[in-house]
């Protein structure tokens, strides 16, 4: 039986076998054939401890976790920190992340919250290419050092992290921590879109095509992305919906795209005025101004068509929330 052979090796002082035996008792299975073993967290702790004392890095991390959560042993946050630090000293990425999280959010008693200390551990994890640590460092540096924030976003973006690519694109678009470069911003938005396979249309790429940000205006490409987000019947989020409606109205009314479609432009402005919230009051006021101007240009028949079109697009917010299963107000 595999478990018997593993016990013999562990008792002879083999730290790898000791660690594996700890796993066997913790998970209740042993070896490649998943031989069933009676779960025993106390035994698991004993073997993790033996392996950890011999310098087995994974055992040190696991032992720290057992002390942190009281699995098979009484909770002891002092011991948890001790073993996390021993493991981290050997380059254990999980231990580095645990320590970063601990100093950031005080997960363990006896540890004072300290962004500086958290950053110290996250930085070590980030140098191993751990994206979550890189994003934390970017978050910490956002206000105090935009250049450092942009640096860590670049590292995470290069590792194909969608959130990092979106944030880095905004940095380039607005010149935050990096020289302003709208063309570079567009490329990062486009990269994020390609990674975001589940999105029905990527808002920022559509916005760039609508306003000519880093790329030549292209109404077809803009609407392809924006309409599914802007349409109340297909949208995936109310907050982004109103923003997309602003862009759609812009596309239809932009004379650079050819003859402006005043009826569609009015209809979409009407939706902006309906759905925009306090955080988007400028868009609402702007939409109302545009509608007022359009009412002077449209014939009575055209205005009725525009109002009818707006009514066809409108969906009560309660119905949108119900479709999305969304319990938040926006």
Query: 282-327 pLDDT, tens per residue?
Result: 788 999 999 999 999 999 999 999 999 999 999 998 899 888 886 4
- Say what the pLDDT of residue 329 is: 42
Q: Do residues 87 and 99 make contact, with C-beta atoms less than 8 angstroms apart? A: no
- Global pTM reads 0.84
Give the phi and the psi of residue 329 in degrees, each rounded to 5.
-70, -20
| pLDDT tens, residue by residue, 183-241 | 999 999 999 999 986 554 589 999 999 999 999 999 999 999 999 999 999 998 777 89
DSSP 162: H
What's the CATH fold of domain 202-330? 1.25.40
How far CA 243 is from CA of 38, 118, 246, 288, in Å, comes to: 57, 36, 5, 15
Distance of CA 15 to the CA centre of its chain: 38
Hey, what are 50's tokens? Answer: 């033996």
- Helix, strand, or coil here: 130? coil
DSSP 235: -
- Identify the residue whose tokens are 């998970």: 27
How far CA 318 is from CA of 152, 238, 283, in Å, comes to: 40, 11, 22
């Amino acid at each position: 039986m595999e478990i018997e052979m593993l016990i013999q090796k562990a008792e002879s002082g083999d730290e790898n076998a000791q660690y594996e035996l700890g796993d066997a008792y913790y998970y209740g299975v042993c070896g490649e054939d998943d031989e069933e073993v009676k779960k025993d967290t106390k035994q698991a702790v004993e073997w993790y401890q033996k392996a950890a004392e011999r310098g087995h890095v994974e055992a040190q991390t696991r032992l720290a976790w057992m002390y942190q959560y009281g699995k098979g042993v009484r909770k002891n946050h002092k011991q948890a920190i001790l073993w996390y630090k021993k493991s981290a000293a050997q380059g254990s990425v999980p231990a580095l992340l645990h320590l970063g999280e601990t100093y950031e959010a005080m997960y363990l008693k006896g540890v004072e919250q300290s962004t500086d200390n958290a950053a110290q551990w996250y930085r070590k994890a980030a140098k191993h290419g751990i994206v979550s640590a890189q994003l934390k460092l970017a978050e910490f540096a956002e206000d105090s050092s935009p250049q450092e924030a942009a640096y860590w976003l670049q590292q995470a973006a290069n590792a194909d992290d969608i959130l990092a690519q979106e944030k880095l694109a905004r940095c380039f678009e607005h010149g935050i921590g990096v020289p302003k470069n709208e063309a570079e911003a567009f490329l990062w938005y486009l990269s994020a879109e390609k990674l975001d396979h589940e999105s029905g249309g990527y808002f920022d790429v559509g916005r760039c095509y609508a306003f000519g940000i880093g790329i030549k205006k292209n109404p077809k490409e803009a609407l392809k992305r924006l309409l599914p987000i802007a349409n109340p019947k297909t949208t995936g989020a109310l907050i982004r919906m109103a923003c997309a409606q602003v862009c759609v109205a812009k596309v239809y009314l932009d004379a650079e795209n050819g003859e402006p479609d005043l009826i569609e432009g009015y209809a979409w402005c009407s939706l902006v005025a309906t759905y925009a919230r306090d955080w988007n009051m400028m868009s609402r006021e702007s939409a109302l101004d545009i509608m007022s101007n359009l009412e002077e240009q449209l014939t009575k028949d055209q205005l009725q068509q525009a109002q009818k079109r707006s009514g066809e697009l409108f969906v009560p917010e309660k119905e949108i929330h119900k479709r999305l299963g969304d319990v938040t107000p926006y």
